[in-house]
Amino acid sequence: KISLGVKQLTEDPYKKVIDNYEVGKNYPAIITNVQDYGCFAKLEEGLEGLIHQSELSWTKKNIHPGKVLSTSQKIEVEVLEKNLEKRRLSLSYKNTLLNPWVKFTKDYKMGDQVEGTIKNITDYALFISIKDSELDGMVHYKDLSWAEKDTELQKYKKNQLIKFKILEINKEKEKIRLGIKQLE
């Protein structure tokens, strides 16, 4: 058996257009397809790349890609990786957006008194949406009052606006620890 091919007589157009794009740079793109694991974006005719789910948002970790981007939407993407052998292009959408952790650490410091809305109440803590920020913080029940009892959680309601102090900002672990008793 001998296999023949005509397309191999001409230069691969993929190899020609892929050289127009550099890793680490931003380019305009159009979303062509939304899947459970990410979105495909077209940079130009014949060149598409994948924006993996983990590269869609700084704050929304396990969200369906269709809730962040939609087909035909025009966006900016950053080229993360080019793989010529597999003809794959890895893209990031979140890297073209301001990282809310960078903004938060510029705007707020430990010890600052801030307001926020209670988003969720568990059996050990309050989770609070911090005002003028995309980020959430946690008040452990031991930081609600000097009594340090978990029954203190019952005094709070979802969507309640409250004041608190920032006790810790851990950018690497993406955690913000808050306290209410520290206001007294």
Q: 25-40 pLDDT, tens per residue? A: 999 999 999 999 999 9
- Give the CA count within 13 Å in the CB-facing half-sphere of 3: 2
pLDDT tens digits, one per residue of 128-154: 999 988 899 999 999 999 988 888 899
Cβ-based burial of 128 (10 A; exposed 0-12, middle 13-18, buried ≥19): buried
| More confidently predicted of 150 and 55 | 55
Note the pLDDT of residue 92. Answer: 96
Could you tell me which of 132, 131, 123, 126 has the C-alpha nearest to residue 178? 126
CA distances from 61 to 39, 67, 83 (A): 15, 12, 26
pLDDT tens digits, one per residue of 7-28: 888 877 777 788 889 999 999 9
Which stretch of DSSP H or E encloses residue 178? strand 175-179
Task: Give the pTM.
Answer: 0.75
Residue 13 is given by DSSP the state H
Mean of the per-residue pLDDT values of the chain: 91
Note the pLDDT of residue 85. Answer: 84
d(CA 7, CA 4): 9
Note the pLDDT of residue 23. Answer: 95
